[in-house]
Chains A and B, each alone.
Chain A
Amino acid sequence: MTLTLTLTLSLTLTLTRGAVLDDSFAQKLAGWVRAKGEEGRGLRILSSTQPAALAAASAVAGASATVTHQSALNPIFRGAVAPEHKEQLLASMGFHERFAGGGESFADLVRRLEPCLLEIEASMEPVLVLAHSGPCRALRAYFLNVAVEQCMG
């Protein structure tokens, strides 16, 4: 439990620092997956439709990997808030609180992830999810059996 909390914390920190993804990340990820040797088992890649995820997916996808792009894996939609306030807001939001201007709440995010989760559960092959901090935290909460409100709000 402590470990999980620490993980959540460090993720949030990195997010708020606004670290920049360097262009070799997709390649590094591809190398890491190859080292794991999962491709041989028929890796299943679920990717969001964001540019970074698309790039990573095409870099990782080998001969035996199947790639599915799903908008359900996209990051939380932050509505029409001015960009400089967005990160700050994200850290202080409650689980059911929606971003102003038609944005989503964490609860909305979890709801739209449900079909995606079913796909991961149903898969017999190893799964690689290429998504973003919010969706990943939500999925991790399910697999680790941690209350999702605790991981995200």
Chain B
Amino acid sequence: MPFSDGESSPTNYYNSAASSSRMETSDAILAKMATRASLTADSAKLILAMVGLTPALTLSLSLSLSLSLTPALTLSLSLSLSLSLTPALYPIQVGLPARGKSFISHKLYAFLNWSGTRTQIFNAGQKRRLAEPEDSQAVAAAEGPRPMQRERSAASFFDPTDPDAKAAREEIAMETLDELLRWFEAGGEVGIYDATNSTLARRAEVLARAAAASERAGHSVNVVFIESICDEAALLEANMLAKVRASPDFRTLSEEEALADLRERIGHYERAYESVTDEEGAYIKLYNLSSKVSANQVFGRMSTRVLPYLAALHIRDRPVYLAALLPGDASLPSSPKKR
């Protein structure tokens, strides 16, 4: 009797006759549930950290939107939304370059803002490009491709064995993260941290900073790593080509040179790349453009909204037509009736 006044005992779904004997919950199960409880805070700020190698999936998504209100007024606009390298979202992304991080960041940004969540993308790559000295850009533009002067875009900048370059990259990434955490104070809800986040150490640093910030501010800050994994060679090649064509890093190079530079850059990351593990906490992994999605410890109001959206994403080109009809008009004598 579930609602009797007496001592309540949990229902035994295996054998209702034996429901009087209370079942013991093992410590292991309780420990798992405690992890989960710590992730379900409703008031939590959320960091969606992108994980992955840098070249983003900058396939342009072409949409045709047509709005027709009456036969007389048919507005049709065809546009190409090029979702390139200027993202502003708050999940943290993990992943090697050319695996679609910035694409995912942009889409999440559009979706979360649309559905009423204050969302912003914080992109380390963009910051790196901004940090590049002005004059070197000017010189490079004036004198053509000169890799030595494109310091922070050239592959050598991404060499994990070069301590100076590593420190510089680290500094830029952490500055970006701090910016994101400051933005939470200003009322932000979901921050998308679009950086490479490809090593355990870097991600541990992100988690530590988020924890420190949540203690300082008194609200909890959750981190979900979003890892885009692309291991099909054909997909990767197509991606890299798109990246080379769209990224400002490569505008002073020819296509072959740029591809070579990008391969080298990816090679640097791949050597140091560590995939997100279960021990690191919440993650969502997307394999080969969402053909497979795996999630770990994704609970909570915001994170559970991100998951179905990411599962829905794909990059197939197709038009979307919107037709706005006048609602109440049932007087359509010549039109076919619904059965």
Binding site for B on A (CB under 8 A): 3, 7, 10-11, 14-15, 19-29, 32-33, 36, 38, 41, 48, 50-56, 58-59, 74-75, 107, 110-111, 114, 117-133, 135-145, 147-148
Q: Does B73 touch A at the CB level, under 8 Å? A: yes
Provide the residues of chain B in CB contact with A124, threshold 8 Å: 314, 316, 318
Within 8 A of A (CB), among B50-68: 63, 65, 67-68
Q: CA A41 – CA B317 in complex, angstroms?
A: 12
Q: Does B320 touch A at the CB level, under 8 Å? A: yes
Provide the residues of chain B in CB contact with A129, threshold 8 Å: 320-323
1/0 per residue, CB under 8 A from A, across B323-339: the answer is: 11111111111111110
Contact B110 A19 (CB under 8 A): no
Contact A52 B320 (CB under 8 A): no
User: How close is B8's CB to chain A, nearest CB, in angstroms?
Assistant: 37
Told that A14-B69, A132-B325, A142-B110 touch, could you supply 5 new A-B pairs with CB distance under 8 A? A25-B71, A41-B318, A56-B335, A120-B320, A127-B318
Contact B322 A126 (CB under 8 A): no
Contact A3 B326 (CB under 8 A): no
Contact A144 B65 (CB under 8 A): yes
User: How close is B68's CB to chain A, nearest CB, in angstroms?
Assistant: 7
Q: Does B312 touch A at the CB level, under 8 Å? A: yes
Q: CA A8 – CA B317 in complex, angstroms?
A: 25
- Please give me the 6 A-B residue pairs with the lowest Cβ-Cβ distance, nearest first: A122-B312, A51-B330, A55-B335, A136-B324, A52-B325, A142-B114
Dominant SS among interface residues on chain A:
helix
Contact B71 A125 (CB under 8 A): no
Closest residue to B115 on the A side, CB-wise? A114
Contact B324 A127 (CB under 8 A): no
Contact of B114 (CB < 8 Å), options: A59, A135, A148: A148
Closest residue to B313 on the A side, CB-wise? A121
Provide the residues of chain B in CB contact with A7, threshold 8 Å: 67, 75, 77
Q: CA A38 – CA B114 in complex, angstroms?
A: 28
Contact A132 B327 (CB under 8 A): yes
User: How close is B185's CB to chain A, nearest CB, in angstroms?
Assistant: 22
A sample of 12 cross-chain residue pairs with beta-carbon separation below 8 angstroms, ordered by A number, consists of A7-B75, A14-B70, A19-B326, A21-B70, A24-B71, A50-B325, A121-B312, A123-B318, A127-B318, A128-B323, A130-B325, A133-B324
User: How close is A58's CB to chain B, nearest CB, in angstroms?
Assistant: 5
Provide the residues of chain A in CB contact with B114, threshold 8 Å: 110, 117, 138, 141-142, 148
Q: CA A22 – CA B77 in complex, angstroms?
A: 23
Q: Does B79 touch A at the CB level, under 8 Å? A: yes
Q: Does B116 touch A at the CB level, under 8 Å? A: yes
User: How close is A31's CB to chain B, nearest CB, in angstroms?
Assistant: 10
Q: CA A143 – CA B106 in complex, angstroms?
A: 11
Provide the residues of chain A in CB contact with B331, threshold 8 Å: 23
Closest residue to A29 on the B side, CB-wise? B323
Contact of A142 (CB < 8 Å), options: B77, B111, B319, B327: B111
Closest residue to B83 on the A side, CB-wise? A145
Contact A23 B75 (CB under 8 A): no
Q: CA A137 – CA B69 in complex, angstroms?
A: 11
User: How close is A142's CB to chain B, nearest CB, in angstroms?
Assistant: 4
Provide the residues of chain A in CB contact with B318, threshold 8 Å: 41, 123-127
Contact A21 B325 (CB under 8 A): yes
Provide the residues of chain B in CB contact with A137, threshold 8 Å: 324
Taking each of B67, B312, B332, which has the highest tally of chain A beta carbons within 10 Å of its own beta carbon?
Answer: B332
Provide the residues of chain B in CB contact with A24, threshold 8 Å: 71, 334
User: How close is B28's CB to chain A, nearest CB, in angstroms?
Assistant: 36
Contact of A52 with B327 at beta-carbon distance under 8 Å, contacts A118-B309, A140-B67 already known: yes
Q: Does B308 touch A at the CB level, under 8 Å? A: yes
